[in-house]
Amino acid sequence: MAPGSFAEYTVVPAKFAVPVPSLKPEFLTLLISGTTAYISLKELGDLTEGEKVLVTAAAGGTGQFAVQLSKKAKCHVIGTCSSHEKASFLKSIGCDFPINYKAENVAAVLKKEYPQGVDVVYESVGGEMFNLAVRSLATKGRLIIIGFISGYQTASGLLPVNAGALPAVLLKKSASIRGFFLNHYLSQYQEAMMTLLKMHSNGELMCEVDLGDKSPEGRFIGLESVFRAVDYMYIGKNIGKIVVELSHPVISKL
């Protein structure tokens, strides 16, 4: 949550510290990814039972929580991912309809399976996926933007390709788009963390961690492996939250 996170040690004000029952990397997944999903869906999603929720990059660090929390709200969850392995993971955490965009045409699948559109989109990819999400909204649909990883390395992904048509698309559906930045909701942070920790302790929430065991050069250990972990994230190979072990028992996360 503070600058200088890629370090072996750091100092934070005590008021920002959250007590955890033990020292394990799973808890790192909740600090930003878990709380982002929890607070954004609670404040902006207005989820009700039976609604259809589309989660992009659903097998990633924050997508995994959007899927599980939407299921706890008794919604029907669709998740996009990039491999059969990720699709299997999504099914294991309750996703009703995984879509492997490397093997299927997401737009065609959504149009066929959900002709009336989806009620909520939890979007973190940007670019064409954002455009697709907008087009897939149902009447009174809500799209929550929590990131745009496709544009982090370049200028692309910052704005929808068809930005000029966006007002008309939203107007025709009485739909809405809202951005979410965790720093603007810090007053709810402690409550979110404690709720998520309790859910995890009770076995109600899976916190998937990717330590890099399946990366070409193996597990991410030491500061020198951070650049490998970042590259691994950008090529979309991770399942769950990437965690880099710095010097036991100190760990960092991406």
Express each pLDDT in 10-46 by its tens digit. Answer: 888 887 788 888 889 999 999 999 999 999 999 999 9
Which ranges in the chain belong to alpha helices (H)?
28-29, 35-40, 63-72, 84-92, 106-113, 127-135, 166-173, 189-201, 226-234
Would the pLDDT of 159 be above 90? no
Give the model's confidence band at 156: pLDDT under 50 very low, under 70 low, under 90 confident, else very high: low
pLDDT for res 72: 97
Q: Do 217 and 230 meet the contact criterion of CB atoms below 8 Å apart?
A: no
Percent of the chain with pLDDT over 90: 74
In which residue are the tokens 């050069």 written? 217
pLDDT for res 75: 98
Q: Which of 76-85, 226-235, 243-252 has the lowest mean pLDDT?
A: 243-252
pLDDT digits (tens, 9 = 90+) for 201-212: 999 999 999 999
Please state, in angstroms and rounded to a whole number, the distance separating the CA atoms of residues 109 and 107: 6
Residue 37 CB-half CA count within 13 A: 29
Q: Write down the domain spans for the chain.
A: 27-183, 208-254
pLDDT for res 47: 96
Positive or negative, the CA dihedral 201, 206, 207, 212 is: positive
Would the pLDDT of 56 be above 90? yes
Q: Does the structural domain 27-183 have CATH classification 3.40.50.720?
A: yes
